[in-house]
Amino acid sequence: MINERRLIVWSIIGTGISSITVQLVTIREFLSQFHGNEITISLVLFSWLLLTGLGSLAAKFFKLSSLTLYALLTLLIALWPLPQVILIRGLREYIFIHGVSPGFYQIFFYIIATTALYCLLVGFILPYALTVLTAHRLHFTSGDLYITDSVGDIMGGILFSFILVYWMKPFKTIALTSSLLIITAFLIMINSRRYGLLIGSVLLTSLFYVYALNGNFETSALSGQYGDIVRYLESPYGRIVVTREGPQHTFWESGQPLYSDANVINSEEKIHYPMSQLDRVENVLLVSGGLGETLDEVSKYSPKHVDYVELNPFLTGVAQELGFLKNLDFLTIKNMDARSYIKKTNQRYDAIIIDLPDPGTFQINRFFTSEFFSLTKRILSEGGVLSFGIQYSPNYLSDIRKQKLSTLYNTAQLYFQNVMIIPGGEAYFLCRDREMTTDIPDRLRMKSIVTEYISGFYYGNITEERIKLLREGIDRGEYINTDYEPRMINIIFKEWFFKHGTSPRAFLLILLALTAIYMMSLKREEYVLFSTGLATMGVEMLVVFTFQVTYGYIYLKIGAIITVFLLGLLPGAAIGNLYRGKNIIRLMCSEIILLCLLLIFFIWISFIKGELPQFYFLAYCFIFSFFCGFQFPVAAGIIGEKRSPAAGCLAADLSGAAVGTLVTGTLLIPLLGIQSAIIFLILIKISSSMIVLLSRKKRL
């Protein structure tokens, strides 16, 4: 017979490994489903934490202790992630209209509906494991449970972030990381002599592995969203899908269409509008958008050198393989973050052409800010031109669209003497310190450059009325778009609600009311854990968004950031477990340290704003989470093990984390900026510190 305590401990570790991997896979899955919008990260984490907290709270009232039930729950947690991902992919096309961007509430409820079962089970099983151990008189404290679960979380985070994300697709990742849970479930059944149950479980598990390890089945699970898939890659930087519809091919990255062949209008407009302004072209910088006909249009100017910067090497690799990116003598492909390249290069360019989607995410917005335009101005040659475009309606400008155009116009004009907007298929911004003309066909005739669309249709589409409509729609008093106060994100976030006839206010009021009701039921120590969970996930969201602004590839690093937060929790909880006696001074000291760390972040973001190496982000995450982890066993010790604090403390910690994720990542940062979010977290920790201080005075 295998030691039952050891099996349950290994199942707790297995739950940690599996759950953190499934969480990261789910985040990346929803990022791909909803166009890389970072707000999706906070919605997933909020739903995850809230539902897990509810599961932990339910365990507080469940008194039945059964090893057989525990084994079945363990097996269900191991096997359910595969159907969950299939449902996330498959139900999207049935619930949402194909090709239409869903609203905030639609996305939110879709996330909750598809992840609810798994999250509730994971939240339930951890305190239930403690119940089973206690019922069998196997010594195990709440602090031991917290530490053991943290060990599994860290192992899963490291395994995914540094190995699996580079080598495996989601289905195979789930199959591998569920294996420990499956083995422990089988061994518990053998120990309990439940052989009939074991045989059924083995058959079900065999079916699980048959589908999880089938690459064709995994690809087919995406066909409802994408159609006829020619190539499917899970790159560290985003999901790449190449589809075919008749003779047309489309490249998708993280759910966004990046390029469709035979799109002559877009290729000609984005290249000829800026480059026709130049008398001579030697060096050109393309920021994304270098596939297909783009380089053919650039070559008409006989440039000496073209640098094409694309973050994802898998994207350019598959484009070359399929013949959509040619090897040209003048072309150099640079697979790196374009903003980092522009900041570091000493090369001067006659034209910088930005071909990116509208700045609806922090990743894209960083290419439309005051800080970015300052960087481009430094590397433009004398008389050089910067070009970018955003979507618009040629015959009508809504108030929100005017705000977008005005914000970008005012931001660009800080650095360029002449900013001109051409109303083509998009509103194309041309930024230069010299005069420019809107008569593009005349400039092309002077250069003897032949085009298909511009030569025949330009004058009919780019009319004086449309140019005047754009010019008169500019509000010179509109705000400037910056990295840490992203005005464009604010506008697009409001537009997102406006399109669907909804508002974030109702959601916020309901959240505040439910939070207030829950807080009234908390003990003092549980409120401290609630506030710490809130601050932990609030800081995690701050780091995620700040990292995205600085480096632009959170899709790759989200696992590392979450893992480092977990890595800090473990030693913090271990040390807190050593000093878990009823000593409120230690709790107060940890509160003061957390406040100081928040103040450091506020000072940096408000006054320094310099680009930090990635190590500093990760080190800050570790230190902050260390003291958060320290508080859990200390607070549980103050309450006392006789009062079974595990479920209540876990629920408070997870509920606070859920609220912190949603308020910080979904509302404060997009609407008010990063500074406001930090101030909110500081006020929350001041309130919990005051409660600890008052509690200490009462004890004295």
CATH class of the domain comprising 503-700: mainly alpha
Task: Please give the pLDDT value at position 583.
Answer: 65
User: Quick check: do 263-482 and 503-700 share a fold?
Assistant: no
Cα–Cα distance measured from residue 5 to residue 393, given in angstroms and rounded to the nearest whole number:
66
**What is the separation, in whole angstroms, between the first and last Cα of the chain?**
52
- Check whether 157 has a pLDDT greater than 90: no
- Check whether 642 has a pLDDT greater than 60: no
Least confident range of 382-386, 450-454, 656-660: 656-660
Higher pLDDT, 31 or 285: 285
Q: Using DSSP bridges, classify how beta strands 283-287 and 349-354 pair: parallel, antiparallel or unpaired.
A: parallel
pLDDT single digits (tens) 225-259: 888 899 998 888 888 999 988 888 888 888 788 88
Q: Residue 462 belongs to what H/E stretch? A: none
- Check whether 656 has a pLDDT greater than 70: yes
Task: Please give the pLDDT value at position 162.
Answer: 83
Task: Please give the pLDDT value at position 579.
Answer: 66
CATH class of the domain comprising 1-215: mainly alpha
- Check whether 525 has a pLDDT greater than 80: no
Higher pLDDT, 387 or 647: 387
Residue 400 amino acid letter: I
Strands, sheet with 229-235, edge to edge from the N-terminal-most edge strand: 229-235, 238-245, 248-253, 256-260
Task: Please give the pLDDT value at position 397.
Answer: 81
- Check whether 697 has a pLDDT greater than 70: no
Domain boundaries, the chain: 1-215, 263-482, 503-700
- Check whether 603 has a pLDDT greater than 50: yes
Cα–Cα distance measured from residue 636 to residue 185, given in angstroms and rounded to the nearest whole number:
29
Predicted confidence band at 700 (pLDDT cuts at 50, 70, 90)? very low
Least confident range of 217-226, 537-546, 610-619: 610-619
With tokens 């309450």, the residue in question is: 639
Mean pLDDT of 324-336: 89
Task: Please give the pLDDT value at position 39.
Answer: 79
Chain centroid, CA 213 distance in Å = 27
Task: Please give the pLDDT value at position 421.
Answer: 93
CATH class of the domain comprising 263-482: alpha beta
Mean pLDDT of 655-679: 85
Specify the DSSP class assigned to residue 641: G
Task: Please give the pLDDT value at position 33.
Answer: 82
Q: Using DSSP bridges, classify how beta strands 427-432 and 380-390 pair: parallel, antiparallel or unpaired.
A: antiparallel
With tokens 């439910």, the residue in question is: 514
The DSSP code sequence of 45-91 is HHHHHHHHHHHHHHHTT-----HHHHHHHHHHHHHTHHHHHHHHHHH
Minimal CA–CA distance to 104: which of 696, 693, 670? 670
Higher pLDDT, 657 or 638: 657
Task: Please give the pLDDT value at position 345.
Answer: 92
Phi, psi for 386 (deg, rounded to 5) = -110, 135
Check: CB of residue 151 under 8 Å from CB of residue 16: yes
Task: Please give the pLDDT value at position 172.
Answer: 95
> In the chain, count of helices (H) and strands (E)?
31, 11
Cα–Cα distance measured from residue 538 to residue 677, given in angstroms and rounded to the nearest whole number:
8
Task: Please give the pLDDT value at position 161.
Answer: 82
- Check whether 601 has a pLDDT greater than 50: yes
Count of C-beta atoms within a 10 Å radius of residue 614: 13
Task: Please give the pLDDT value at position 640.
Answer: 55
Cα–Cα distance measured from residue 542 to residue 551, given in angstroms and rounded to the nearest whole number:
14
Predicted confidence band at 360 (pLDDT cuts at 50, 70, 90)? confident
Task: Please give the pLDDT value at position 545.
Answer: 84
Across all residues in the chain, what is the average pLDDT?
A: 85
- Check whether 99 has a pLDDT greater than 70: no
Task: Please give the pLDDT value at position 367.
Answer: 93
Task: Please give the pLDDT value at position 13.
Answer: 92
Encoded tokens for 539: 């800081």
Least confident range of 99-103, 273-277, 324-328, 604-608: 99-103
pLDDT single digits (tens) 583-593: 677 778 888 89
Task: Please give the pLDDT value at position 680.
Answer: 92
Specify the DSSP class assigned to residue 613: P
With tokens 């951890």, the residue in question is: 126
Predicted confidence band at 523 (pLDDT cuts at 50, 70, 90)? confident
Q: Residue 540 belongs to what H/E stretch? A: helix 524-551
> 3-class SS at 358?
coil
- Check whether 577 has a pLDDT greater than 80: no
pLDDT single digits (tens) 29-87: 888 887 767 778 888 888 888 888 788 878 877 777 788 898 999 999 999 999 999 99
- Check whether 581 has a pLDDT greater than 90: no
pLDDT single digits (tens) 484-500: 888 998 888 888 777 77
Cα–Cα distance measured from residue 571 to residue 563, given in angstroms and rounded to the nearest whole number:
13
Count of C-beta atoms within a 10 Å radius of residue 662: 28
